[in-house]
Amino acid sequence: MHFMLIHYSKVAALVVSIISVYGTIFIVSDLSAVLKRPVLILENQILLRTGFRWRALVNKNNIASIVKIKEGFEPADTCFRGGILKGNTNILFTFKHPVSVERIYRKPLSVNTIMMSIDQADEFIAKSGIDTVTPS
């Protein structure tokens, strides 16, 4: 693509090359961040996040339920889908009051439910200390 574009416009070829390099760096760094920035259980809060894409700091007393979900689960349209891949999620957080989700390159979003993927979901639910956990 770059070689074909250079025959028509050197500036356009340079711009496309710079955007491609930036995109590659972003993808590699985001995948690295997914591994190095896990979901954290703090004393009174839980920090939900997936790489650089989004994050939400939630008070534990604002969590109504944590449900382990299975493949094929269809959430409401208002649910924030925060998995690495949109179809690959295993936990559904439901909140008593809306929480703010900070997203990269976009305005924050206020949501009542978040679907995401967490490794070792059963351990996470046990360690969260949430009394109102609802099993699936």
Residue with tokens 């690495």: 84
Predicted TM-score (pTM) of this structure: 0.76
For range 34-41, the mean pLDDT = 84
DSSP label of 70: -
Rounded-to-10 torsion of CA 93, 89, 79, 74: -110
Element (H, E) at 16: helix 10-36
One-letter amino acid identity for 90? Answer: N
57-108 confidence digits (pLDDT tens) = 999 999 999 988 887 777 788 888 887 776 677 888 999 999 999 998 889 9
Average the pLDDT over each of 5-9, 23-27, 44-48 and give the range with the smallest value: 5-9
